[in-house]
Structure 1
Amino acid sequence: MPQTVIKPNNRQLAFDPSRIEAYADRILEGLESLDKERLIRGVHAKLRRNEITGEEISNAFTMSALELVTKEEPNWKYAAARSLLTSLYKKAAFNRGYKAYSDRPYGAFYPLISDLVKQGIYREELLEAYTKEQIEELGAHIDYTRDLLFDYIGLLTLTERYLTTDFDGRVMELPQERYMVIAMYLMHKEPADKRLELVKEAYWAMSNLYMTAATPTMSNAGKKVAGQLSSCFIDTVDDSLEGIFDSNTDIARLSKMGGGIGVYLGKVRARGSDIRGHKNTSSGVIPWIRQLNNTAVSVDQLGTRKGAVAVYLDVFHKDILAFLDLKLNNGDERMRAHDIFHGVVIPDLFMEAVEARGDWHLFDPHEVKKTMGWKDAQGRALGLEDFYDEKFGEGSFRQKYAEAVANPALSRITVPAIDIMKRIMKSQLETGTPYMFYKDTVNRANPNRAHGIIYCSNLCTEIMQNQSPTVIEQEELVTKDGQTRIVISKIPGDFVVCNLNSIHLARAVPAGVLERLVPIQTRMLDNVIDINNIEVLQAQYTNSQYRAIGLGTFGLHHLLALEGIRWESDEAVAYNDALYEKINYLLIKSSMELAKEKGYYPKFKGSDWENGNYFTLRGYTDGEHEGKFVTTEQWRELQAEVQKHGVRNAWMFAIAPNGSTSIIAGSTASIDPLYDLLSYEEKTTYKIANPAPDLSEKTIWYYKTAFMIDQNWSIKMAAARQRHVDQGQSFNLYVRPDIHAKDFLALHLHAWRAGLKSTYYVRSRALTIEECESCAS
């Protein structure tokens, strides 16, 4: 047994075994089913030296509790979390110079804010927007008991990735303070007369784990030396040397600040195309993708991880075959880019050709523009990528494709469509990608199609907003006041920005708080647009014109298990349909209320929101699709209000992967089925067991794991949700490595026919996929 305990200030105390008993009682309070004696035996086994520190005692409790975590006794993860909390409280108290008590573990809030602002760690706005008395009032509003909602993995993730430290890396901020600072920062531009109440409401939403903010917001809100608050960006590359290199620079700047990047390359000329009349001189898109790959590796995200970039190319682009082989582990390394992700842009016509085992033609976009003579209203040349099938007939993609095929002056490569599909599926089984982006489905459902076209998605396939390339107009020398400068003039394109947060379905739905929760989430997201300072000006401008947001969800499988609904069932499909209709209704209503208060987004006029088509196209107002939670009459009333008052946000609903933030909240990720009943977090010297959330004799029967589930049921649920999601879903397919090709193809055809806008990773137990945390919401 130890003889002496050394405290942080080097005081020495005699070891008192009764304090071990008291500590065990404290961390097991409310967890009566757990055996205290087993825990204490494990602790004593780890305390065999004569001299130990208080931190070593806390660690012994934490590790002993973790060793006891099983499927049968999952609540040991909460005991381990409480032990970690105790250690965290003591560290913060020591670093900040206050005494932490078991009934008052948090220090004074105002000194934390004022000290970290003075040190240049927090932003000055926290002291400029709030008085000392207001900050003290908010500090008194902090409820430290909500720390008990975290399990061990969740608290560890929050501590290691998100809590504020000083410049020496010492933890200064505690979990509830992080939530309060986020709330203060997101609301600091709100009118003074209601600012505090909005802060308290945002804190209520986050601290109860009814929702999570996206990783960039969680990490950076209120901090001075940090990145921006948005998760992802999408750029459209112009077919010019200046446009390509300018885009690469913009991507590097955004990646440096922690953003995940999607890049559409479908306008860039193919290999062998001419350059200024010189034949067969273009090297195609692959070298530029390799350059982006190098950018992703060399310009890391705030010094923490390599950048994350996804590139998209149309399936009718001449370089598509080389593109599909980008991430394979064999072949010519000069044609590989292993550190980027890739997605294929697919029209309906291609999927029809795959089904019919027909031929498919590949074209050079530059040659198409030169040869076909298609123009827009401003006289700009158009390519095949600028069309989609809104309806069969004049102006549709299939008509333009047929014209291109029939033109003998246009060179092409012709291959069986099924051969391209085989290349896609081969790459997916080996690497998890490419993503599938069903362009016609996306654009038919685009509420802002009057203002543009959607060419591709983002890094996580859930963001779908209008895009266009930024074009360099001119570069000139200008002399003014004796100073000569080079002035570059650009015409800004639609450079997509996504601002994300997500509902914790398994907490918010059973608690009956959606009606209260969705409005404050919508306001938080909308405020990010006004607060954020994005270095790339066309992204900042696009953000202000469309004010797009992406409210998402996670914990779907967790919720279904709590509700006693089997994943593979018509009941689950119907439940998805009704639940996501309700969320969408609340979301649109919240955006409309914000428009009444602050004005609608600048490009509202001409949109499907203004003319009411958004509601009619989804069957909300025809009386034939009466919802379980929202009546047809309620939809008709909302349609009229939106047409009268507008909406604040051009796009609103997007379901992100929620990789790390769902871990913090202790739930299942996004819309995914559970991966394993008992998963493990690997550390350098040990493994941490992580049981399924709320695992019990009741829920275990509803936790069929991902690779055991018939993926057709997952597709059916995703299709039911898609009607209500104006953007996309990070929808994964889980397949076994030995899946038959015809069965794999059938899944893709089902997803396309069912109306999914995209599919994300193809996941196999043989694959390890490193995801982008920026987009993980």
Structure 2
Amino acid sequence: MSLETTSPPSAADASTAPVRVIRRDGSVSSFDPTKISVAMTKAFLAVEGDDAATSSRVHHVVEELTGQVTDALLRHAGPEPALHIEQIQDQVELALMRGGHHKVARAYVLYREERARARAASRPAEAPARPELRVRAADGTLAPLDWDRVAHVVGEAVAGLADVAAEPVLAETRRNLYDGIGADELALAQIMAARTLVEQEPNYSFVSARLLLDKLRAEALSHLAGAARQANQDEMAAGYGDYFRDYVHRAVELELLDPELTRFDLDRITAALRPERDLNFGFLGLQTLYDRYFLHENGTRFELPQAFFMRVAMGLALREDDRERRAVEFYELLSTFAFMASTPTLFNSGTTRPQLSSCFLTTVDDDLDSIFQAYKNNALLAKYSGGLGNDWTPVRGLGAHIKGTNGRSQGVVPFLKIANDTAVAVNQGGKRKGAACAYLETWHVDIEEFLDLRKNTGDERRRTHDMNTANWVPDEFLRRVEADGEWTLFSPDEVPDLHDLYGTAFAERYREYEAMADRGEITVFRRVRAVELWRRMLTMLFETGHPWITFKDPCNLRSPQQHVGVVHSSNLCTEITLNTSTDEVAVCNLGSVNLVAHVGPDGLDTERLARTVHTAVRMLDNVVDINFYTIPEARRSNLRHRPVGLGLMGFQDALFELGVPLASDAAVEFADRSMEHLSYHAISASVDLAAERGRYATFEGSLWSKGILPIDSIELLAKAREGDVLDVDTSSTLDWDGLRERVRTVGMRNSNVMAIAPTATISNICGVGQSIEPQFRNLFVKSNMSGDFTVVNPYLVRRLKERGLWDEVMVADLKYFDGSLGEIDRVPDDLKELFATAFEVDSRCLVDAASRRQKWIDQAQSLNLYIAAPSGRKLDELYRYAWHKGLKTTYYLRAQSATHVEKSTLRGTDGRLNAVPAGTRGTNTVPAGTRGTNTVPAGTGSVPAAAVPAVAPSPAPAAEPAACRIDDPDCEACQ
């Protein structure tokens, strides 16, 4: 079973010849996949026998596994590919474990250990010294390896960090070196070495990041100098100001940055730079920045982290009176991770095309000009990293009459297929996948076909595998569900005013149209049992992860801007609720407060939070004026209403710091109080900006102008619910009367101020949990566009260390139990409760916390719901519970992932180890319900007949549900 004793490379494998294999004695040979096949075949036959039937089956299994191993190895190999023999064997073991061949994997592991002991026993007492190694420069010249510098860089990387050491990193690095290694490979070998230790000690993530930083420094300095240059952290700190000046001028010369940045007082700017903050990144955060955010020329990065943050800050301060002072103020928030702007702002601030807005919402009208204009608008908006929410409800349904041709409509679905393909084609410059979400109201006659759009079976011409979908659900529909009544589907060309109605007005008009249909005055309509349609909605949500459930009436009845329009949909991530029409494309500008950065020993630091929020709202307001608008409808809308969406992230981290379990009344109360303070200061900041810069143009007539704040608008929703249960807490602790009067008399700078976005990527940058998400697992492998990363909960590790419980056995247990503490006997119950994972917490706790937040928010929040063992009854109860608790929207339904923590003792097999631009990622496990091949067969997740209490419950489906998985690398929420 040894990979070292099989045949030499064959001619058939010439394509893999450039990949080198480093043997244990330091010699180098060519990579040959047939050696992997032979080794695995021997392992299978040793366990299962060698009869003809077994041999035939093993051949096919080994062929598939060899392909997986080869793909993984080549995907992880760097630009100068070289693999250590141990790395190859690790991948073989990993493939066997993933494939469920546990007995074979165990035999393979034991064989490796036996061979290792044999080598150790036969090794001479004094092994001969390894030959001196040389490093190959970019021009091909060879120079002796400077091991002293390697040791210095690693020593610098571990400095000041607890429970880490240079020796294991150096030992692992040495193991992966060979004569003639490339300079980039040498840097990557150090990064790889530190990464293998992350699962044992989370602080090695910071060591890995610092080693990546050393590679980045060499890349940036060499690019700017035109010749190879290196600098350690101390040397870089001394020269950061000079570097920054060179960087700005070079970026302007390349037409990447706005020349206006050179006209800042760069002496004031460089004096504010804090080079030591480059050391505050975890590996996932810095690798993400490296792959997707830093400026580069032909793939060569020349933007260091503090330069990046200052560039973003300067771009946001361009129109300030004292722009240097404001740039420094903005930089302080960004570089300390107290607040982080959204991805489009980070991508484009300070550049020649500063498209800084995150979300765009559109309404598509019922004519071909509008439909095809919508495709063009989507492409232009997505080009510069905007996420799209499209309201398709006005488009007439299948079978509706077309007056111009005297024909029959094909409905909305064929047009959605084109929108899907547009999103795929315009992929935001390769930085992240183009992303859109189509919304349709529940009364639309095409709603049942709309529900099927994400299925992996059926007519591909009527499927949209790459576009998100969402139900825009009126309250009247849920009343019919709860009353087990009928529901009528209409084509919007015959009931055009339903699109703009909500609340009581919608319910009354809808009933009038039903009466008209009964009288034969409406041609295209269909009656269904509301419960049956609801059940199908939940079935599709369960099977495909779509369409999401969002609630039309709460979004409109609590909207501050109902005097000038209607909210017809939410956005890509369901947190934006702004008016749209054929004349206005809604725009929102996002950023998030890092909540854990505002928590101390005494709880929430409200004074610091107030300072952060006031500066953050100013930054977001500046986006409106600086922004590069790709279509006039977006510019007109944004300048009229000036909406922004301040959110939060690191909620679970804050609870860990406070020692508060997520599934507790204290956590719900903390969600309430923290959001109350954020809301209070965000509104106050907008009032201050109104006093300084003027009110937004459509302030008069808004709820704000009437002194109705978000907490007050709950009463409007309660009144419209017509006696339906609305279970919303309305308690408060701050001086809202005083603020209410200031809002009414001074005005608001922004029509909308708050929205909680998913924050997946910017949370990675800051090293905290996403948004308001619960902890997924305490140890897991996270996939995103930058690769796969071992993630260990550092708060758990700290608590276990305090009790003397953190050791290799605990790591092994966490792997075995998929990152959960529940089955580990020696972990105390209080820690099990505090560190319960997402699927161990009742999702109603998440809804309760979201309900408390929603009362303070003028827009909405991206709320994912987690169910470990879904059933029809559970889904029905959960989503109706969310409606009764006053939520405006929900987002993904999360189910257990097929990709758990690997139950092996492998190290260094957790994904891409090379710091290269995104876009080279190989095949990942496709989450069920997205596109292509799924690990869960279509149809296995059908919601049983227990979707409503009136029907007898059925067992939960045995198969794993196909809802969106949290480790989906292509899911926008996971970016």
Give your verdict on TM over 0.5: yes
Could you tell me which residue of structure 1 aligns to residue 467 of structure 2? 340
Could you tell me how far 1:141 is from its partner in structure 2? 1.3
User: In the alignment, residue 590 of structure 2 is paired with which amino acid?
Assistant: L
Structure 2 CA distance for partners of 1:333 and 1:682, relative to 1, 3 Å: closer
Structure 2 CA distance for partners of 1:574 and 1:618, relative to 1, 3 Å: farther
1:219 and 2:386 correspond:
no
Aligned CA-pair RMSD: 2.4
Paired with 2:553 and 2:416, the residues of 1 have a C-alpha distance of 25
- Given that 2:153 and 2:232 are in contact with CA atoms closer than 8 Å, whether structure 1 keeps it comes out as no
1:173 and 2:303 correspond:
yes
- Given that 1:252 and 1:296 are in contact with CA atoms closer than 8 Å, whether structure 2 keeps it comes out as yes
1:157 and 2:288 correspond:
yes
Cα shift readout 1:95-150 (whole Å, capped 9, x = no counterpart): 1126624313134322221222122121122124x2xxx11321121111111110
1:195 and 2:323 correspond:
yes
Q: Helix, strand or coil for the counterpart of 1:698?
A: helix
User: In the alignment, residue 494 of structure 1 is paired with which amino acid?
Assistant: E
Could you tell me which residue of structure 1 aligns to residue 4 of structure 2? none
Paired with 2:786 and 2:872, the residues of 1 have a C-alpha distance of 40
Could you tell me which residue of structure 2 aligns to residue 402 of structure 1? 511
Structure 2 CA distance for partners of 1:18 and 1:428, relative to 1, 3 Å: same
Could you tell me which residue of structure 1 aligns to residue 954 of structure 2? none
Could you tell me which residue of structure 2 aligns to residue 676 of structure 1? 777
Could you tell me how far 1:307 is from its partner in structure 2? 2.2
User: In the alignment, residue 191 of structure 2 is paired with which amino acid?
Assistant: T
- Given that 1:448 and 1:608 are in contact with CA atoms closer than 8 Å, whether structure 2 keeps it comes out as yes
Could you tell me which residue of structure 1 aligns to residue 120 of structure 2? none
Could you tell me which residue of structure 2 aligns to residue 228 of structure 1? 355
1:533 and 2:628 correspond:
yes
Could you tell me which residue of structure 2 aligns to residue 733 of structure 1? 865
Paired with 2:368 and 2:787, the residues of 1 have a C-alpha distance of 51
Could you tell me which residue of structure 2 aligns to residue 500 of structure 1? 590
Could you tell me which residue of structure 1 aligns to residue 840 of structure 2? 708
Kindly report which structure 2 residues correspond to 1:194-343, keeping only aligned pairs within 5 A, or say none: 194-224=322-352, 226=353, 228-276=355-403, 281-343=408-470
Structure 2 CA distance for partners of 1:686 and 1:439, relative to 1, 3 Å: closer
Rg larger for? 2
- Given that 1:518 and 1:587 are in contact with CA atoms closer than 8 Å, whether structure 2 keeps it comes out as yes
- Given that 1:308 and 1:772 are in contact with CA atoms closer than 8 Å, whether structure 2 keeps it comes out as no
Q: Helix, strand or coil for the counterpart of 1:415?
A: strand
Paired with 1:724 and 1:330, the residues of 2 have a C-alpha distance of 42
Structure 2 CA distance for partners of 1:2 and 1:19, relative to 1, 3 Å: farther
Q: Helix, strand or coil for the counterpart of 2:205?
A: helix
1:602 and 2:697 correspond:
yes
Structure 2 CA distance for partners of 1:104 and 1:639, relative to 1, 3 Å: farther
Paired with 2:430 and 2:537, the residues of 1 have a C-alpha distance of 34
Worse overlay, 401-410 or 599-608? 401-410
Could you tell me which residue of structure 2 aligns to residue 46 of structure 1? 176
Structure 2 CA distance for partners of 1:711 and 1:775, relative to 1, 3 Å: closer
Could you tell me which residue of structure 1 aligns to residue 891 of structure 2? 760
Could you tell me how far 1:368 is from its partner in structure 2? 1.9
Could you tell me how far 1:698 is from its partner in structure 2? 2.5
Paired with 1:681 and 1:578, the residues of 2 have a C-alpha distance of 31
- Given that 2:169 and 2:193 are in contact with CA atoms closer than 8 Å, whether structure 1 keeps it comes out as yes
User: In the alignment, residue 507 of structure 1 is paired with which amino acid?
Assistant: A
Could you tell me how far 1:553 is from its partner in structure 2? 0.8
Could you tell me which residue of structure 1 aligns to residue 219 of structure 2? 91
Structure 2 CA distance for partners of 1:242 and 1:406, relative to 1, 3 Å: same
Could you tell me which residue of structure 2 aligns to residue 472 of structure 1? none
Kindly report which structure 2 residues correspond to 1:226-625, keeping only aligned pairs within 5 A, or say none: 226=353, 228-276=355-403, 281-369=408-496, 383-389=497-503, 392=504, 396-407=505-516, 408=519, 409-411=521-523, 412-469=525-582, 493-510=583-600, 512=605, 513-614=608-709, 617=712
Q: Helix, strand or coil for the counterpart of 1:272?
A: strand
Could you tell me which residue of structure 2 aligns to residue 148 of structure 1? 279
Could you tell me how far 1:765 is from its partner in structure 2? 2.7
Paired with 1:776 and 1:453, the residues of 2 have a C-alpha distance of 30
Structure 2 CA distance for partners of 1:682 and 1:258, relative to 1, 3 Å: closer
Q: Helix, strand or coil for the counterpart of 1:292?
A: helix
Paired with 1:163 and 1:606, the residues of 2 have a C-alpha distance of 44
- Given that 1:677 and 1:703 are in contact with CA atoms closer than 8 Å, whether structure 2 keeps it comes out as yes
- Given that 1:237 and 1:263 are in contact with CA atoms closer than 8 Å, whether structure 2 keeps it comes out as yes
- Given that 1:518 and 1:586 are in contact with CA atoms closer than 8 Å, whether structure 2 keeps it comes out as yes
Structure 2 CA distance for partners of 1:771 and 1:69, relative to 1, 3 Å: closer
Q: Helix, strand or coil for the counterpart of 1:499?
A: strand
Paired with 2:786 and 2:502, the residues of 1 have a C-alpha distance of 53
Structure 2 CA distance for partners of 1:579 and 1:16, relative to 1, 3 Å: same
Q: 2:882 aligns with which of 751, 767, 770?
A: 751
Q: 1:667 aligns with which of 768, 790, 793?
A: 768
Structure 2 CA distance for partners of 1:113 and 1:616, relative to 1, 3 Å: closer
Could you tell me which residue of structure 2 aligns to residue 476 of structure 1? none
Worse overlay, 432-441 or 93-102? 93-102
1:78 and 2:206 correspond:
yes
Paired with 1:17 and 1:450, the residues of 2 have a C-alpha distance of 70
Gaps of 5+ in 2: 1-129, 716-728, 801-830, 898-926, 929-963
Paired with 2:257 and 2:164, the residues of 1 have a C-alpha distance of 41
Could you tell me which residue of structure 2 aligns to residue 138 of structure 1? 269
Structure 2 CA distance for partners of 1:685 and 1:458, relative to 1, 3 Å: closer
- Given that 1:462 and 1:728 are in contact with CA atoms closer than 8 Å, whether structure 2 keeps it comes out as yes
TM, length-normalised to structure 1: 0.88
Cα shift readout 1:423-465 (whole Å, capped 9, x = no counterpart): 2112111221111111111111111111111111011100001
Could you tell me which residue of structure 1 aligns to residue 118 of structure 2? none
Paired with 2:152 and 2:326, the residues of 1 have a C-alpha distance of 40
Paired with 1:732 and 1:615, the residues of 2 have a C-alpha distance of 22
Q: 2:855 aligns with which of 709, 712, 723?
A: 723
- Given that 2:590 and 2:646 are in contact with CA atoms closer than 8 Å, whether structure 1 keeps it comes out as yes
Q: Helix, strand or coil for the counterpart of 1:274?
A: strand
Paired with 1:607 and 1:728, the residues of 2 have a C-alpha distance of 18
Paired with 1:243 and 1:614, the residues of 2 have a C-alpha distance of 35
- Given that 1:227 and 1:302 are in contact with CA atoms closer than 8 Å, whether structure 2 keeps it comes out as no
Worse overlay, 155-164 or 82-91? 82-91
Could you tell me how far 1:697 is from its partner in structure 2? 4.2
Q: Helix, strand or coil for the counterpart of 2:683?
A: helix
Question: What fraction of aligned residue pairs are identical, expressed as a percent?
Answer: 35
Structure 2 CA distance for partners of 1:13 and 1:301, relative to 1, 3 Å: closer
Cα shift readout 1:444-490 (whole Å, capped 9, x = no counterpart): 11111111111110111000011212xxxxxxxxxxxxxxxxxxxxx
Could you tell me how far 1:685 is from its partner in structure 2? 13
Paired with 1:761 and 1:773, the residues of 2 have a C-alpha distance of 10
Could you tell me how far 1:227 is from its partner in structure 2? 6.2
Structure 2 CA distance for partners of 1:502 and 1:682, relative to 1, 3 Å: closer
Q: Helix, strand or coil for the counterpart of 2:399?
A: coil
Paired with 1:123 and 1:95, the residues of 2 have a C-alpha distance of 20
User: In the alignment, residue 541 of structure 1 is paired with which amino acid?
Assistant: R
Could you tell me how far 1:301 is from its partner in structure 2? 1.9
Worse overlay, 675-684 or 37-46? 675-684
Q: Helix, strand or coil for the counterpart of 1:103?
A: helix
Q: 2:257 aligns with which of 122, 138, 144?
A: 122
User: In the alignment, residue 617 of structure 2 is paired with which amino acid?
Assistant: T
Worse overlay, 679-688 or 576-585? 679-688
